[in-house]
Structure 1
Amino acid sequence: MNVGIGLPIADPATLLTWARRADDGPFSTLGLLDRLVYDNPEPLVALAVLAGATSRVRVQTEVLLAPLRDTALLAKQSATLDRMTGGRLVLGLGVGGRDDDHRAAGTDLRTRGRRLDGQLALMRRLWSGEPYGDGVGPIGPAPARPGGPEVLFGGFKPAAIERVAGWGDGFLAAAPPSWAGGLFDIARGFWKDHGRAGAPRIVAQVNVALGPEDVVDDARARLHAYYGFTGMADRMVAGLLTTPAAIRGAIAAFANLGADEVMLYCHGADPHQVERLADAL
């Protein structure tokens, strides 16, 4: 079972410290979430900096809101990052549910799913070296991984999960073990229905905070602020894991469900959590 760390967004300047400590530890991946109308670092820019400061860990968008971005430029940016990191990029993608993000980007919230499908079709072609089309040639560079970086999709509805089989390599599930298993089964079922060989890679996500009371309180406050728009912030805060035993239990539960990796998402700003989480494992 691989275990990664989801990075906090409170202070972008501290993320180099988080990344270097994680690279020296037992962790497999560094994840970073995405919003536009929020006080968070832009994930592709931030992960490029972190990739340059590390040598081993993968860097993962968790999830990048692709419909907010120009498709050709996103294909070029992600291929560049994948190439320059030697294939360490994992491109987690989603559609985004905030109207203000879409208004700021000039995109239509109502058609975001269809837009994402079209984006994936184009990006897959570009990553394979094919021309853009209509008299426009290829857009390089070629990614390190043939056909493009590993692509994961997040989501809860069947239409979103089916993209895993249609366009992706795996499923990113931000759900507790108590109901993540059903989502895993849906993803695997679509994979089989689409005639894909093998099985999708399954990446689970759980929110954690490990440390003194002020560290946990900080994480709870930031988690509540980030998810306030969903109407489920209290539930999210209640699900925060704050002890080594609870974190180990969640990892074991996801392992029993067949997950390949668990991302421990940190919302508190204290980078000493990296060592505490490593000890907890």
Structure 2
Amino acid sequence: MRVGMTMPVMEPDLDAATLRTWATIVDEGPFSSLCWGERIAFDNPESLTLLGALAAWTDRVRLVTTVIVPQLHDPVMCAKALATGDLISGGRLTVGFGVGGRHEDYQAVGADPKTQTMRDMAERIAIMRRVWAGERITDSVLPVGPPPVQPGGPRLLVGTIGPKTVRSAAAWADGLAGTTLDLDVGKQNELFDVARQAWAQAGKPAPHLATSFWFALGPAEAAREQVRTHLRRYMNWIPAEYVDAMAPTTGWSGDEEQLAAVLREFAAVGTDEVHLIPTSTDVDQLRRVAEVVHDFT
């Protein structure tokens, strides 16, 4: 099983130096991928712009969007931006797509919340694939470029936690970029089984099975408080008392040995990759997790 690291893009007071430091450390290894998510009505960096920076700042690590919401973008421009990121990174891009969970993000860009469906997402992805294939989708002299380095475009993952969504994504996705709130490994494996069956029924190779969870490394009380503080900020569309109620059992907190034990549990059920999500910009925690991952892999 491989282990990726998510950029701390949902943390406050970010600057270019912090982002570049994280990208550089992750690229040094032993992480398999460098991930980041998308929100609009929030103060995180814009995802496609950040893709260009991360592609330039790194040389080795796989770049994974977890996730981009196609309905918030013009599909042709999104395809062009992602192909550009694939070009700059030398073909290291994997794209996670999802429908998103916040109407305010749709409203912020003038997108119709009624398009927050798997069907609408699949339609936009089909347009992107046509662009990456070099088709002229309008009466233009040349097709929209640049062509991606990876033939046919980047590998595509579906960001979801629901079996119905997983089944519908088998038609276009190469795997999952899921998430687990409570680290229930058995429940996660049930979703993996849905994917395994759906991909087999579609006559496709076995899906890439990835999941993610928030983490905080350190003494028990302080680490759990770090997770709670992050959730309070990130889940700002949920009443604070609800977030506080779920915070004790959401994400993971603990020491290095406990993190390694959790990773072994996910590996045991056939997880291909875990994407860790930081709840702090603390570089020391990043380096300590890197040591755990080095020993684990």
What TM-score do you get using the length of structure 1 for normalisation? 0.92
Q: Hey, what does 1:116 align to over in structure 2?
A: 121
Runs of 4+ in 1 over 6 A off after TM superposition: none
Q: Hey, what does 1:222 align to over in structure 2?
A: 230
Distance of aligned partners of 1:142 and 1:182 in 2 relative to their CA distance in 1, 3 Å threshold: same
Stretch deviating more after TM superposition (152-161 or 185-194)? 152-161
Following superposition, the deviation at residue 225 of structure 1 comes to 2.1
Stretch deviating more after TM superposition (65-74 or 7-16)? 7-16
Q: Does 1:194 align with 2:199?
A: no
Distance of aligned partners of 1:116 and 1:23 in 2 relative to their CA distance in 1, 3 Å threshold: same
2: distance between equivalents of 1:44 and 1:163?
26
- Pick from 16, 19, 23: which aligns with 2:27? 23
| Corresponding pairs, count | 280
Following superposition, the deviation at residue 62 of structure 1 comes to 0.7
Cα deviation code 1:144-177 (max 9, x no counterpart): 1111011111112334212431111111120222
2:264 aligns to what SS in structure 1? helix
Pairing 1:1-281 to 2, within 5 Å after superposition: 1-9=1-9, 10=11, 11-13=14-16, 14-113=18-117, 114-133=119-138, 137-175=142-180, 176=183, 177-196=185-204, 198-211=205-218, 217-230=225-238, 233=243, 234-236=245-247, 238-242=249-253, 243-281=255-293
2: distance between equivalents of 1:41 and 1:186?
34
C-alpha contact (below 8 Å) 1:244/1:277 kept by paired residues: yes
Following superposition, the deviation at residue 230 of structure 1 comes to 5.0
Paired amino acid for 1:185:
D
C-alpha contact (below 8 Å) 1:205/1:262 kept by paired residues: yes
CA RMSD of aligned residues (A): 2.0
Cα deviation code 1:179-208 (max 9, x no counterpart): 111111111111112121x20111111211
1: distance between equivalents of 2:29 and 2:224?
22
Stretch deviating more after TM superposition (210-219 or 135-144)? 210-219
Following superposition, the deviation at residue 38 of structure 1 comes to 0.7
1: distance between equivalents of 2:199 and 2:132?
22
2: distance between equivalents of 1:149 and 1:143?
7
**Structure 2 portions without partners, runs of 5+:** none
C-alpha contact (below 8 Å) 2:68/2:96 kept by paired residues: yes
Following superposition, the deviation at residue 134 of structure 1 comes to 5.4
